[in-house]
Amino acid sequence: MTGHRRRVTQQDIARISGVSQTTVSLVLNNRLDAGTRIAPETRERVLEAIAETGYVADPVARRMVARRNRIIGVFTYEAVFPSGTRDFYQPFLAGIEESAERLGCDLLLLTSAPVVAGRRRIFDDGNRFRLADGCILLGRETDAGELARLVAEDYPFVSVGRRDDAGGPVPYVGADYPGAVAALVAGARELGHRRLAYLGSGSRAESRADRRDGFTAALARTGATGTVLAGETQELIARLPELLADGVTALFVEEPADCQPLADRLAALGHPVPAGISVVALGDPTRPATADIDFTGFRIPRREMGRQAVEVLSALLAEESTTAQRLLACDGHRGASLAPPPG
């Protein structure tokens, strides 16, 4: 071992090629301004030294002076890789990675953010997210206070998933849940369903609320009647008899992972899916789930959301004008759990 490891600096390159640090910087940045000219041979010598040493500018120093790193931070409120929700988040990340690769940016996973109360926090972090040019925010729940602070500080970021204003508009690339849910409600109406129910978590997270609101709005438009239940999986299951007694013929299930347990219970109650009752899955399961039934519902364009989130961020950083709040359409999925009401 050589013992002392030191970062190669422009100063080193300068020494090797017999020029000043300024010249190295000029060559690196390929400045063609009038007033700054470098002789071709000098340029060659510098580039050679750079190639030999494999020199790369220190992003931290660069950031001190200029404004860009070509590093995009990815902040997730949960760990990225550990399983659990991984299957849900993976497509978002795939899209993010794809866009980043195309833009020639690296991704900084902000793993060092301390987990406080079961969740990572942005601002308790020594503000390490500031190393990135901007951030992508991923995760269903976002701390409203932190969001507001990001907005207030004019920090460039884009949320994957729609967010309510937080002291100002929040840039996001979300999914059009109201539209997707409305389409499903309309489909159920056409099949003859009149009494519908929404089975949700009661969460106030935008992604949840948007589904719920889309449901109630669609009810009014289609002239159907509906009930909205809120609770954990087990509570929802427990309240099925009550819904059945009420004459409900189609269930709109907020969390698709709940569909199978609900269907199992419904079958036990003498209402098999879809002959006895219809069940609709509003999106993709956010936790691992197996299903015997191919549930009708919609697919969240997760990969595309990730892709566009990076594009929006890139536009924000370049100060280009762009639509910074986007809702992407969800693909309807025609499965086998939505059928005409019995009788």
Partner DNA sequence: TCAAGGTGCTAATTCGTATTAGCACTTGAC
Partner DNA sequence: GTCAAGTGCTAATACGAATTAGCACCTTGA
Count CA within 13 A, CB hemisphere, residue 19: 22
To DNA, the closest distance from the beta carbon of 129 in angstroms equals 14
Which of 25, 38, 43, 70 is in the footprint of a second copy by CB under 8 A? 70
Alpha helices in the chain (DSSP H): 10-17, 21-28, 40-53, 59-65, 86-103, 144-152, 177-191, 206-222, 233-238, 240-245, 259-268, 302-317
Does position 117 interact with a second copy (CB under 8 A)? The reply is: no
Closer CB to a second copy, 115 or 275, in the complex: 115
Tell which one of 5, 15, 25, 30 touches DNA (CB under 7 A).
Answer: 25
Residue 44 lies near a second copy (rule: CB under 8 A): no
> Under the criterion CB under 7 A, does residue 57 sit at the interface with DNA?
yes
User: What are the CA-CA distances from residue 151 to residues 164, 166, 205, 296 (Å)?
Assistant: 12, 7, 18, 38
- Check binding of 6 to DNA (CB under 7 A): yes
Q: Does 69 bind DNA (CB under 7 A)?
A: no
Residue 60's Cα: distance from chain center in Å?
Answer: 27
Interface with DNA, residue 29, by CB under 7 A: yes
Q: Which one of 44, 52, 58, 106 is in contact with DNA (CB under 7 A)? A: 58
Residue 322 sits in the site that holds DNA (CB under 7 A) = no
Applying CB under 7 A, among 3, 5, 51, 67 the residue interacting with DNA is: 67
- Determine the Cα–Cα distance for residues 57 and 130; give it in Å rounded to an integer: 18
Of 150, 86, 76, nearest to 107 by C-alpha is 76
Strands 71-76 and 134-138: parallel
Instruction: Compute the CA torsion angle 27, 33, 36, 42 (nearest 10 deg).
Output: 30
Residues at the contact surface with a second copy, assessed by CB under 8 A: 1-2, 4-5, 7-8, 54-64, 67, 69-71, 79-83, 86, 90, 93-94, 96-98, 100-101, 103-112, 115, 123, 126-131, 153-154, 156
Residues at the contact surface with DNA, assessed by CB under 7 A: 6-7, 9-11, 18-23, 25-26, 28-29, 31, 35-39, 41-43, 55, 57-58, 61-62, 64-67
